[in-house]
Chain A
């Protein structure tokens, strides 16, 4: 099956996967549009894909890049409207705790979202971020430490064990 056939046969799967990725990266309601654009762009530029077995990682990279561009544009037009963030939601914890994710440095946050929210393996996350697996591991390690340090106050307040 050629790449073009795969686009058509697996469109639903690609779209679902990319929408989830874009939403997790913070695209909110624009996730579906970005995912759709990414697939169309990839379909038009399929000749740029050298290794057909890497179609999915390639698609994810395109979608991730477009999401980051979208977020940069959105940041320039910051308003007082609510923003949508993709966060862990533990009912027994305050939203303050969940929002700690948003305070992580960008790359750490992206690594955390890809691995913990989407369940990507570190290699897959590395492919999306265009870094090595070791870098992802380091980012995750740092993110966990930053979160732990940032949540000390909450743990103290609640007297968590």
Chain B
């Protein structure tokens, strides 16, 4: 701790936030942080910063007032920072107080408040007929078809794995003409942050409000049906969830026997030291424990949410940060039993669960990982392909961030879309496409500043029915939702090709949205009409 201030230094708090929590601090420092508001809040600031830096980046429209200009006070603070802080401590404190007061008075509010929905209806300008004005959409997808659109609730079952994606697919044919219809949805508010829909779309996994360690399991209508305490979670199947819970003290003598996995060179059961770690269990929909896996796992690198990756078809992986350097990651696969330890960090299963994308990180920043890509067969864990020459950066998931990774196989398994980069898994070539999602026939749709793009090979065409910068989400069943960060209503394109503007009563804007795999419901967060934060679910027509 700093002998001058008596507080834990900012750098130490930053290190703790980056490397797994206050547990990495010395005992005296931990005690101090627990009882000191200043240090606790600064630590929280670091955690928030790392979460922010790991998020996906995009163009955001702000009012000029939202972009603070370097103030004279700021310049003064910069100047003073360069001087001997110890000798100037009292002056620094005084300047700091003055700067804070000045900033509070002078810094304008950052949020560009969009006008109320009733006075702004840009969607009304979307008057083009989908059939007349939409660009010609090829009926053959270069990415291959996984399966025809499924009936709601069906599991993905198409052919998967790289190299098996040559079957042509058809994009959902738009049939509606004229302006989009308008459908008002019944919105049910729920507290917390949505993480993921179950593979069958019947349930939603959420982090509860507050500390973020309470896991909620809700049905599609938003009713709470189960809870658990967890640091990470992922759907294993439509009725089971893998969770990790922190074990503050897991002494070797207390460690369960079996294939304990501590990562390469990590403190294993025979190391003779007391270690902390995560215990991984499988729970049912009500939150009851079904099984506990042997061993404990070392989460770290700000990737807690991505440490468990579920296939939705009965398998999941558990990653662990080992002692083989800062990026020494390894993992095990569970598919009824625990596999041997493998190198790398899993980021996504293919839709049929037969392939696993694994990154071999060269750097980890908060929730984002940069490294080369390997595709492994499940459950054999044999290498299908590896692309050591191609470096990929994968950020955290689109919602429930920083939980999970922003990566998804094409339905046929021949391509991987990772944080806006499309990887051809037959040769490792990449194309920057922007973020988006897959339709069941293998069509890739992404969002751009100009609107929705449909991709054919390395070429994209603009779908003029979805104008302007937005975000696109797709369901495995084939629905597509394009939404904006302002008061414009989200647009829903269903599997019949009809376009609807969705009115969400009480909702001013959507920040992020998840559509259920069966296309029957959405979960979203954003701003309510009164300006407060809102998280809600709504059934789709």
Q: Contact residues of A with B, CB < 8 Å?
A: 16, 20, 23-24, 28-29, 78-103, 105-106, 112-113, 115-117, 119, 121, 144-145, 147-152, 154-156, 159-161
Contacts and interface: CB of A to CB of B under 8 A. Distances in A.
Contacts of B68: 102-103
A150 B77 CA distance: 14
A92 B514 CA distance: 12
Given A87-B59, A119-B368, A148-B42, 8 more contacts: A84-B61, A88-B55, A96-B110, A102-B66, A105-B78, A144-B46, A147-B53, A159-B211
A154 B60 contact: no
B45 A94 contact: no
Contact of A160 (B44, B60, B393): B44
B62 interface: yes
B398 A151 contact: no
Contact of A97 (B11, B48, B63): B48
B102 interface: no
Most buried by A among B17, B50, B52, B511: B52
A62 B361 CA distance: 30
A95 B57 contact: no
Nearest to A155: B44
List of 6 A-B pairs having minimum Cβ-Cβ separation, nearest first = A91-B512, A155-B44, A119-B393, A90-B55, A148-B45, A117-B57
Nearest to B370: A119
Contacts of B112: 82, 95
A95 B365 CA distance: 21
Interface string B369-385: 01000000000000000
A80 B45 contact: no
A112 B49 CA distance: 12
17 contacts: A82-B62, A82-B64, A84-B61, A86-B57, A90-B51, A90-B52, A91-B511, A92-B193, A92-B512, A93-B48, A94-B111, A102-B67, A121-B363, A147-B52, A152-B42, A156-B41, A160-B48
A91 B401 contact: yes
Interface string B99-121: 00000000000111000000000
Given A91-B525, A93-B51, A86 B44 contact: no
A119 B395 CA distance: 10
A86 B58 CA distance: 5
Interface of B: 10-11, 13-14, 17, 41-42, 44-64, 66-68, 70, 74, 78, 110-112, 193, 210-213, 363, 365-366, 368, 370, 393, 396, 398-402, 432, 449, 511-512, 525, 533
Most chain B CB within a 10 A radius of its CB, from A90, A97, A100: A90
Contacts of B210: 159
Given A99-B62, A102-B67, A92 B525 contact: yes
Helix, strand, loop or mixed for chain A's interface? Answer: helix
Nearest to A75: B69
Contacts of B62: 82-85, 95, 99, 102
B384 to A, nearest CB: 25
A20 B61 contact: no
A151 B49 contact: yes
Contacts of B52: 88, 90, 93, 97-98, 100-101, 147, 151
Given A16-B432, A102-B67, A105-B78, A116 B57 contact: yes
A72 to B, nearest CB: 13
Contact of B59 (A79, A86, A91, A105): A86
B44 A92 contact: no
Contacts of A149: 10, 42, 45
A88 B365 CA distance: 13
Given A87-B57, A88-B57, A155 B45 contact: yes
A54 B17 CA distance: 37
A100 B49 CA distance: 10
B212 A161 contact: yes
Contacts of A119: 368, 370, 393
Residue of A79, A84, A119, A148 with most partner-chain B CB within 10 A = A148
A155 B48 contact: yes
A91 B398 contact: yes
B59 A84 contact: yes
Contacts of A101: 52
Given A23-B59, A98-B60, A115-B365, A161 B45 contact: no
B401 A90 contact: yes
Contacts of A100: 52
